[in-house]
């Protein structure tokens, strides 16, 4: 079993997102009932895990506190995805009005074994307009035994009428400390010793995604790449080249930069990680230039002469986004180099 599934949170207290954990605990402990929750946020931030925990809380047979017991038949069935009153629907595959009409007919029936019928609709923004209209009628007057848990990575695509019927939870990208907490839990569970610097590098690359971080850690464990040097090789990182790249950029050494990108391509560099590392350094330079932090190292004296940090941050941020859709991931970086070196940007 993949580690991100093996160590998926099973209790409210195990949710790594502190804000979500606190809010869910308050709402589930409140005497007031709810019929629809909306979980909105980027992939891998724990939306589905939270939804399943809520389903367990609502149907647990032995619950004495807010937390589910995690050992009764109901909790086990939900964890294994076979509970007769908990339905997980992928809106990307079941996005039409017929599926929602079927749901509206089923929801009228009383629960088979649990206290509540729970409908977890993933990527709910994928529903058609007709399906949204049909779902809205159910959300407006749901049966007392029904609860909807809607999850989406693109809440802006949801009709306002749907959002207004839900209690909204924003699953923001996890903070570094939260991802580290999650990785430590996995490492301890697997009885693997991993240094904090290695976990920090994994957490930074994961970009706020618990799932992505766990996948990287799993790969590192399987390939015995648990030292700083090995993890950087595994990630295709070019930390040592970042400052060199920025210095050459400040001097507008166009040909040398294009050759360097070609060399990095041959080494199998992950260019999205490389650009992320450049943005992190530019961020430090920007804060240092404004006296927010002190960033003084032997190499940074020259770097801090770059007075176009803000513009470079914008350019590298755009290149990072363009890489997601580029036919060749290194092309946006090459375009950035050419535009910067052949432009009138001052350095």
Highest mean pLDDT (candidates 215-229, 272-286, 289-303): 215-229
**DSSP per position, 146-188:** EEEEEEES-GGGS-HHHHTTSEEEE-PPPPHHHHHHHHHHHHH
- Average pLDDT of every residue of the chain: 88
Task: Tell me which residue of 206, 211, 209, 200 sits closest to 174, measured CA to CA.
Answer: 209
> Are 264 and 329 in contact, with CB atoms under 8 Å apart?
no
Is the separation of the CB atoms in 103 and 138 below 8 Å? Answer: yes
Does position 187 have pLDDT exceeding 90, yes or no? Answer: yes
Q: What is the dihedral of CA 225, 5, 210, 222, to 10 degrees?
A: 0
Report the percent of the chain where pLDDT is more than 70: 93
* pLDDT tens readout for residues 229-273: 888 778 766 667 888 898 888 888 999 999 999 988 987 888 888
Residues 159-174 have pLDDT tens digits of 999 999 999 999 998 8
Sequence-ordered list of residues with C-beta below 8 angstroms from that of 139, at least 6 positions apart, any chain = 35, 36, 148, 162, 165, 166
User: Is residue 296 very low, low, confident or very high in pLDDT (cuts 50, 70, 90)?
Assistant: low
Residue 156 CA: distances (Å) to CA of 34, 41, 275, 322: 23, 11, 28, 21
Q: Report the pLDDT value the prediction gives residue 301, as an integer from 0 to 100.
A: 46
pLDDT the model gives residue 64 = 82
Q: pLDDT value at position 61?
A: 93
* Residue 331 burial (10 A CB sphere; 0-12, 13-18, 19+): middle
CA 337/CA 205 separation, integer angstroms: 23
Write down the pLDDT at residue 100: 84
CA 230 – CA 222 distance, rounded (Å): 12
Q: What angle do CA 74, 79, 81 make, to 5 degrees?
A: 90
In angstroms, the CA 338 to CA 300 distance is 24
- Given a cut of 50, is residue 343 above it in pLDDT? yes
Spatial separation of the C-alpha atoms in residues 38 and 31, rounded to whole Å: 20
Nearest residue to 149 via CA among 124, 121, 108: 121
What is the DSSP pairing of strand 146-152 with strand 36-40?
A: parallel
Domains of the chain: 3-170 (3.40.50.300), 176-235 (1.10.8), 239-341 (1.20.272.10)
Residue 126 has what DSSP assignment?
Answer: G
Lowest pLDDT segment from 91-95, 168-172, 184-188, 189-193: 91-95
DSSP state of 38: E
Q: Is the pLDDT of residue 347 over 90?
A: no
pLDDT of residue 287: 83
Distance (Å, whole) CA 136 – CA 35:
12
Q: Is the pLDDT of residue 294 over 70?
A: no
The three-state secondary structure class of 82 is coil
- Nearest CA to 334 out of 244, 243, 263 is that of 263
Higher-pLDDT residue of 151, 280: 151
pLDDT in tens, 307-339: 678 889 999 999 999 998 898 999 999 999 999
Give pLDDT, residue 55. 96
**DSSP summary character for residue 31:** S
Q: What is the arithmetic mean of pLDDT over 41-61?
A: 94
Strands (DSSP E) found in the chain: 36-40, 86-90, 117-122, 146-152, 167-170
What would the mean pLDDT of 47-59 be, rounded to a whole number? 96
Residues in the chain: 347
Measured CA to CA, the distance from residue 199 to residue 231 in angstroms comes to: 9
Residue pair 142/107 in contact by the 8 Å Cβ criterion:
yes
By C-alpha distance, which of 182, 130, 226, 235 is closest to 15? 182
3-state secondary structure of 292: coil
């Amino acid at each position: 079993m993949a580690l991100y599934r093996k160590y998926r949170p099973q209790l409210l207290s195990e949710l790594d997102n502190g804000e979500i954990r606190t809010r869910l605990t308050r709402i589930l402990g409140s005497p007031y009932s709810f019929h629809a929750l909306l979980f909105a946020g980027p992939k891998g931030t724990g939306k589905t895990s939270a939804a399943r925990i809520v389903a367990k809380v609502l149907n647990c047979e032995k619950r004495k506190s807010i937390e589910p017991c995690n050992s009764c038949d109901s909790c086990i069935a939900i964890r294994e995805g076979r509970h007769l009153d908990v339905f997980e629907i992928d809106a990307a595959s079941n996005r039409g009005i017929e599926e929602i009409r079927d749901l509206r007919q089923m929801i009228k029936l009383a629960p088979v074994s649990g206290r509540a019928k729970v409908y977890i609709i993933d990527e709910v923004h994928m529903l058609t307009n007709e399906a949204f209209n049909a779902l809205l009628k159910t959300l407006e007057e749901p049966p007392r035994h029904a609860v909807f848990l809607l999850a989406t990575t693109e809440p802006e695509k949801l009709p306002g009428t749907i959002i207004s019927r839900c209690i909204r939870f924003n699953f923001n990208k996890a903070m570094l400390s939260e991802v580290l907490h999650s990785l430590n839990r996995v490492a301890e569970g697997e009885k693997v010793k991993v240094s904090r610097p290695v976990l920090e590098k994994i957490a930074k690359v994961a970009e706020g995604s618990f799932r992505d971080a766990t996948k990287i850690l799993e790969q590192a464990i399987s390939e015995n790449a648990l030292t700083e040097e090995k993890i950087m090789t595994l990630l295709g990182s070019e930390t040592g080249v970042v400052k060199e790249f920025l210095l050459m950029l400040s001097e507008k050494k166009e040909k040398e930069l294009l050759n360097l990108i070609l060399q990095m391509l041959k080494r199998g560099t992950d260019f999205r990680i490389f650009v992320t590392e450049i943005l992190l350094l530019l961020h430090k330079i920007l804060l240092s230039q404004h006296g927010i932090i002190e960033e003084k190292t032997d190499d940074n004296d020259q770097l801090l002469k770059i007075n176009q940090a803000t513009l470079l941050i914008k350019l590298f941020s755009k290149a990072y986004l363009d890489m997601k859709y580029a036919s060749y991931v290194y092309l946006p970086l090459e375009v950035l180099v050419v535009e910067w070196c052949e432009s009138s940007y001052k350095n």
